[in-house]
Amino acid sequence: MLGIDLSGKRALVAGVADAGGFGFAIAKALAEAGARVCVASWPPAMGIFETMLKRGKFDDARRLSDGSLLEFERIYALDAAYDEMSDVPEDIRTNKRYAERGDFSIGGLARAWQSDFGDDSLDILVHSLANGPEVAKDLLDTSRKGYLAALSVSAYSLVSLVNRFGPLMRKRGSVLSLSYLASQQVIPGYGGGMSAAKAALECDTRYLSYQAGRRYDVRVNTISAGPCATRAASATGIIGEYIEHYAEHAPLQEKLTLDEVAYVAAFLSSPLANGITGTVVFVDKGFHAMGMSYG
């Protein structure tokens, strides 16, 4: 029987801070398929995440099909707004939520990974990172600072991660990110420059697939996922309306689940998808295909 087998593969999922988001669901699906999984978490949320794990608060969410619990090989600190510690403002570097986390830059994460696992040690890199501090504002009302912050963390961080982790990846490894339909169509309420950030992410996926494919022999794809009630999505303030609208108007009239996105992520990360790169894969019950819905 043909199945997704990631035995012997090692994955890094960047952007896991709780058990209710795309990043955690993808990490779990990769583990179900046999991969060893590490995660990177935003320093201000990392302490709570680690405490919840230790206290067993995530045990139900961590339960795998064989009854065992998802275990992370490593949990790293990462603030994807910074390529190196020299980029970090003093007030951030000395903040108590950051101060004890060591080098939490993208470059620091890559060096820590290399120290822990060596060269040719990464098979799957998942970018589950997004931040739009002004996402609830209309684009017309977005400040330059808010707009550039959205682009920095939500799009450029993928470029930076591939630049630093590409040399550490095994041949025909997989890089995967998460996009949204607002990159291509107007989604009222999804503001603050996040629509432009997702458009940049998809464009960069195509360029990175070519450049990283030729340079490192790795694949680069992105999933355009429909709305789910994650903590990050709640920042829009109207995520519930998005979910109901999709369920009413999509070809498949039902709510999207995190697992449905995670299973596609596992497939794209596997050798079964070795012929797929530079692609935006829609996982949204077909909503993206609709111009108008009847009935």
What is the CATH number for 102?
3.40.50.720
Question: What is residue 236's predicted lDDT score, i.e. its pLDDT?
Answer: 63
- First-last CA distance in the chain: 39
Known active-site residue 246: no
Reading across the β-sheet that carries 122-127, which strands appear in turn?
72-77, 36-41, 10-14, 122-127, 169-179, 219-225, 280-283
Domain count, the chain: 1
Query: Is 239 within the bounds of a domain?
Result: yes
**Per-residue pLDDT tens for 50-97?**
999 999 999 999 999 999 999 999 999 999 999 999 999 999 999 999
Which candidate, 255, 192, 254, places its Cα nearest to that of 227?
255
Query: Is 294 within the bounds of a domain?
Result: no
Q: Active site residue: 76, 82, 147, 190, which one?
A: 190
pTM over 0.85: yes
CB 174 within 8 A of CB 221: yes
Round to whole Å and give the CA distance between 117 and 175. 18
Which backbone phi and psi does 179 adopt, to 5 degrees? -115, -170
pLDDT (tens, 9 = 90+) of the chain, 295 residues, equals 788 999 999 999 999 999 999 999 999 999 999 999 999 999 999 999 999 999 999 999 999 999 999 999 999 999 999 999 999 999 999 999 999 999 999 999 999 999 999 999 999 999 999 999 999 999 999 999 999 999 999 999 999 999 999 999 999 999 999 999 999 999 999 999 999 999 999 999 999 999 999 999 999 999 999 998 776 656 666 778 889 989 999 999 999 999 999 999 999 999 999 999 999 999 999 999 998 777 6
Query: Is 2 within the bounds of a domain?
Result: no
List the structure tokens of 154.
């939500």
Round to whole Å and give the CA distance between 245 and 287. 10
Query: Is 142 within the bounds of a domain?
Result: yes
**Per-residue pLDDT tens for 192-208?**
999 999 999 999 999 99
Known active-site residue 216: no
Round to whole Å and give the CA distance between 197 and 136. 15
Query: Is 253 within the bounds of a domain?
Result: yes
Q: What is the DSSP string of 115-146?
A: HHH-SS-EEEEEE-----TTTTS-GGG--HHH
CB 212 within 8 A of CB 197: no
Report the SS3 class of residue 175.
strand
Question: What is residue 230's predicted lDDT score, i.e. its pLDDT?
Answer: 72
Query: Is 288 within the bounds of a domain?
Result: no
Query: Is 290 within the bounds of a domain?
Result: no
Query: Is 25 within the bounds of a domain?
Result: yes
Question: What is residue 70's predicted lDDT score, i.e. its pLDDT?
Answer: 97
Question: What is residue 238's predicted lDDT score, i.e. its pLDDT?
Answer: 74
Ranges of H-type helices in the chain: 22-32, 43-54, 59-62, 90-93, 96-99, 106-117, 144-151, 157-165, 194-216, 239-249, 258-268
Question: What is residue 242's predicted lDDT score, i.e. its pLDDT?
Answer: 85
What range does the domain containing 52 cover? 10-283
